[in-house]
Amino acid sequence: MLLFFALPQVLWAQRDSSDFRRLQVGLVGGQMWHTVDFTPTVDVLTLPGQSYGIAIRYFDKQLVGFQAEASLASAGWQENYGDELYERRLDYAEIQLLTQFSVGRGFIQPLLQLGPYLSVPLEDNETLPASFDPDQEPANTYRGRELPFRLNYGLRAGLGLNVEAGPLTLQLEGRILQGFSNLLKPGESQVATSIRQAYGGNLGLFYAIR
């Protein structure tokens, strides 16, 4: 039994040190603080949301590799509504492809990664304040009605560390998200633009299968 658990470590230690190719699979998750940049300006607050999913990471060079992730994520925003709060929480299925720069071959390796994401809406939950009166809202308001189905896309970037321990890699990073598409189609509500933004942290654990 001891040999069964020790064998992967032995084989990993005997690999060719000049071969930088590495294929890993893993689990990822984190928390982001989300908001939406509206035009005209809305008094928005950040809304925390979690994400979790699976990932694959591949390097065929010492410095540059790729990381693909598929995850479920909770996003949205809050806004001040008089003395109360209005909240909109959106759940997404997300995929993203990140180009990763990982420096060094030691135990701790700084990393920078950047790439596009695509979000598919799954669920829309709205919390209206007690004082909400639809008669006081514009005719084309987004408050009090379901948001239309719209794919969301943009750019995500991360800065952090890879902690290497044989076939295992622990990844810790801070991330930012900048949307490029509008949550609401321009002209269909009282806002002209509605762009997702977020910042937070992410954790990944990977195991090398090659």
CATH of the domain at 197: 2.40.160.20
Least confident residue range of 43-52, 111-120, 141-150? 141-150
For the entire predicted model, the pTM comes to: 0.85
Residue 4 lies in a domain: no
Residue 53 lies in a domain: yes
- In terms of residue numbers, what domain contains 52? 17-208
* pLDDT > 70 fraction of the chain, expressed in percent and rounded: 90
51 burial (CB, 10 Å; 0-12 / 13-18 / 19+) is buried
Distance of alpha carbon 94 from alpha carbon 92, whole angstroms: 6
Residue 12 lies in a domain: no
Distance of alpha carbon 166 from alpha carbon 207, whole angstroms: 9
Nearest to 95 by CA among 75, 119, 113: 119
**What is the total count of domains within the chain?**
1
Residue 64 lies in a domain: yes
Distance of alpha carbon 192 from alpha carbon 26, whole angstroms: 40
Average pLDDT, the chain: 89
Residue 75 lies in a domain: yes
Residue 180 lies in a domain: yes
Nearest to 125 by CA among 84, 70, 86, 183: 86
pLDDT at 90 over 80: yes
pLDDT digits (tens, 9 = 90+) for 139-181: 889 999 989 899 999 999 999 999 999 899 999 999 999 999 9
Residue 10 lies in a domain: no
Residue 3 lies in a domain: no
**Residue pair 99/114 in contact by the 8 Å Cβ criterion:** yes
pLDDT score, position 111? 95
